[in-house]
Amino acid sequence: MLLLLVLPLLTLLRYSFNKFTPGQLMSEAFILDNYIKFFAEPYFREVMTGTFGLAAICTVSSVALGYPVAYMLARTHTRWKSVLIILVLFPLLVGNVVRAAGWTIFLSRDGLLNHLVISLGLSSEPLQFMYTNTAVFVGLMSVMLPFVILTLLGVLEGLDFTLFDAARNLGASPATAFRRVILPLSIPGVSAASVLVFTIGMNSYATPVLLGGAEFRMMAPTVYQQFALVMNWPFGAALAFILIAVTGGASVLSSLFLARQNRLLGQ
């Protein structure tokens, strides 16, 4: 961890205080100009805001969609359970680039989705699905959902569901028993899943680039552009650490919020 993660990050942090010199990668300095530039230029603030908003929406949506699936898997005891879990795991066996390429074929103007739309008479000509916010949202959700389901499944399988049955026997409705018993006990899993997939969304690169196109703006591609295209390593390093700070801060705040909600649900 020290050799492969901490030291490279410390080196990158030092780069973020250097000065960009055209014709060179950077020159030694210790200035805050790169961080000031981020807050001074609306373009980069808008990229961060857009990235944060999309990651937050995808996180909430993936937890909302993944929780019922994880709950069903945790409560089922049929012989098909292992098959269902394998189906959840299967997307993780395929790289993000390959998955994004699959969505590209599915969402393209000549893709399966447009053929279905035209065949059903919903449109007389192909619709533009690719290179939109919706395409990136769908792509990110396909990445996030397996992580959400597996994380929640690990927590829900450890719960004692006889507590739910006891609450029902004492007169609670199914909704009340779930809200007052199961949901508070599963909040740690919700918190862990939320932090995990929010981090994935904030730092996503391949999905926005392939499904959103060159005009779609997110932080990870912007950091790459500063390093590989503009060759402004100090500013790229500053953007990377701002992204780390925002992701970490939002994760901590969301964990504290969910912990507070857990206490309120238990009352």
Walk along the chain (267 residues) and give the pLDDT tens digit of each residue. Answer: 888 888 999 999 999 999 998 877 788 889 999 999 999 999 999 999 999 999 999 999 999 999 999 999 999 888 888 899 999 988 888 888 889 889 998 999 888 999 999 998 888 888 899 999 999 999 999 999 999 999 999 999 999 889 999 999 999 999 999 988 999 899 989 999 999 999 999 999 999 999 998 788 999 999 999 999 889 999 999 999 999 999 999 988 988 888 777 676 655
d(CA 61, CA 196): 14
Q: Which residues pair with 27 in a beta bridge?
A: 19
Report phi then psi at 159, rounded to 5: -80, 150
234: nearest Cα among 51, 37, 55, 70: 37
145: nearest Cα among 73, 77, 61, 74: 61
pTM of the model: 0.90
